Every structure is written in C-alpha cells, then in structure tokens.
Amino acid sequence: DGGITQSPKYLFRKEGQNVTLSCEQNLNHDAMYWYRQDPGQGLRLIYYSQIVNDFQKGDIAEGYSVSREKKESFPLTVTSAQKNPTAFYLCASSITGGAGRETQYFGPGTRLLVL
Amino acid sequence: AQSVAQPEDQVNVAEGNPLTVKCTYSVSGNPYLFWYVQYPNRGLQFLLKYITGDNLVKGSYGFEAEFNKSQTSFHLKKPSALVSDSALYFCAVRLYGNKLVFGAGTILRVKS
C-alpha cells in the first residue's frame, strides 16, 4: 500500500448524511483517483485529478464530490444523493507524463456501510 | 467500447502446479495492460505491466504475463503456485488520460 493512506478504515453513514473519506499520499504524485469496488464488478472510477485545483468526473460520479486543494490530498465526499453508497472505496495515485510510466498505486481502502 | 474481460470467476490449482489467470482486452491502438492483486480487505498491489517490447513481462512474486496481440490476450502465469498466492486478481487496460478500465476480477484458490 506504500505511501498512500486512507482513513477511516470503516465508516458508517446514516441516511441523509454526507460523509468524507480521506486520501493522502507522500509519493509526490501529480495524479490521484477514487474508485468504488462492489463484489463481482471490479473497480469503477468515480473521480480523478491530474493536477491541483482540477478534477474530472469518472464513470459513476453522481452522488459524489471531491476537492484537490493540495497535491498530497484528494478527499471524497459521499453525499446524501448517493442512494447506494455501501461499497469498498479505493484511492490511487500516479505520476503523469506518458510513455506508460503512470502506474497507479493504491491505498488500503475504506469500507463504507449504511446504518 | 474499450474493455477488459476476465472469463473465469475463479481458478483452482494445487500448490506446486503452474497457474494461469486469463485476461482478454478490446481497445483501439496499442494497449497498456496491467495486473493487480488484492488480498481480503486490502488495497490493490501492482504486479506487472505491459507497455511495449518483449511479449513476456516479468513482475513481482514470481508472476509473469504474456502479451498476445493476435489473440488480444494478456494472461497472468506462474510456474509453481503457492498457497499464499490465493487472492483476487484484476487485469486492467489504460485508456486516455491515464484512466484504467478493470476486469471483474478472478479469485485464485491454491490448495495444499
């Protein structure tokens, strides 16, 4: 899991509540990513950011929001609009620059459960 | 649509036997292909990648993968399986903007 930390390890959300998942990296990577993992579906991209103060929607961005105010940090907020938030959330980071060097490295994950 | 398929939900192999976990891809242009492993309740660990060059790529923990352009495959292999190799394995292909598309994953069970 290297230099990427995610907290908390487990998170419980009440109906109608927004919750924020933390992701921090000390790898000096420019790019960061959020994925959602559901059983039997692999990983799906929620949001990604290739540079500070800029981010793009992935395939399943509805009900989620992010910010990228610092290079090291890429927090994910699961809003009340996300009706099925129970999943394992994975953060990743990589360098940018092309030529196949942009291997993504993953954090240990946060499991979100709905009360 | 650009995609990755892992046709087997689960692969069972005896310890000491060779193992293969299959992956096929559908992508325009030259693909960048990756294999990751995930242990229970953990993040993904990078095993290896194919960018260009030799079709046989060697990675971590004795794993290797063979890129076959004509068959659009990138199968993960290991000559002698260990019980500790039991985990969930993901194949992925890189799209534009460094986005990755993942297969659904294959559970590998190695029995002693």
The reply to whether residue B105 touches residue A58, judged by beta carbons under 8 angstroms, is no
User: Number of CB pairs < 8 Å for A and B?
Assistant: 63
User: Exposed, middle or buried by CB within 10 Å (0-12, 13-18, 19+), for B90?
Assistant: buried
**pLDDT of res. A99:** 66
pLDDT band at A33 (very low <50, low <70, confident <90, very high): very high
Amino acid A22: pLDDT: 98
The shortest C-alpha distance from B74 to chain A (Å) reads 16
pLDDT over 60 (residue A1) = no
Beta-sheet strands, E only, within A1-115: 4-7, 10-13, 19-25, 31-37, 43-51, 54-57, 64-66, 76-78, 87-94, 105-106, 110-114
Helix (H, G, I), strand (E, B) or coil at B60: helix
Chain A residues with CB under 8 Å of B34 CB are: 103-104
Taking the Cβ of residue A43 and every Cβ of chain B, the question of whether any pair is shorter than 8 Å is answered with: yes
Question: What value does the mean pLDDT take over residues A10-17?
Answer: 91
Whole-angstrom distance, CA of residue B79 vs CA of residue B65: 11
Q: Which of A48, A99, A107 sits opposite B43 (nearest CB)?
A: A107
Q: Give the pLDDT score at B70.
A: 93
What is the Cα–Cα distance from A21 to B95, expressed in whole angstroms? 26
- Would you state the structure tokens that stand for residue A19, as one six-digit string? 């919750």
User: Does residue B13 contact residue B80 with C-beta atoms inside 8 Å?
Assistant: no
Cα dist. B96→A31, A50, A62, A98, B62 in Å? 14, 12, 21, 10, 30
Closest B-chain CA to A31 = B98
Quick: pLDDT tens for B31-70.
899 999 999 989 999 999 999 888 999 999 999 999 999 9
* Weakest-pLDDT range from A75-79, A100-104, B68-72, B81-85: A100-104
Averaged pLDDT score across all residues of chain A = 93
Q: State how far Cα A114 lies from the chain centre.
A: 18
Of A1, A44, A96, the CB nearest to B98: A96
Which residues from A are below 8 Å from B46, CB to CB?
A: 103-106
Instruction: For residues A57-69, give the mean pLDDT.
Output: 97
Q: What distance, in Å, lies between the first and last C-alpha atoms of chain B?
A: 40
Residue B86 confidence (pLDDT)? 97
The beta-carbon neighbor of B102 closest among A42, A102, A108 is A42
Q: Pick A79 or B52 by higher pLDDT.
A: A79
Residue A62 has pLDDT above 50, yes or no: yes
Q: Return the pLDDT at A53.
A: 96
Verify whether the Cβ–Cβ distance A45 to B99 is below 8 Å: yes
* A90/B94 touch (CB, cutoff 8 Å), yes or no: no
CA–CA separation, A22 vs B40, rounded Å? 21
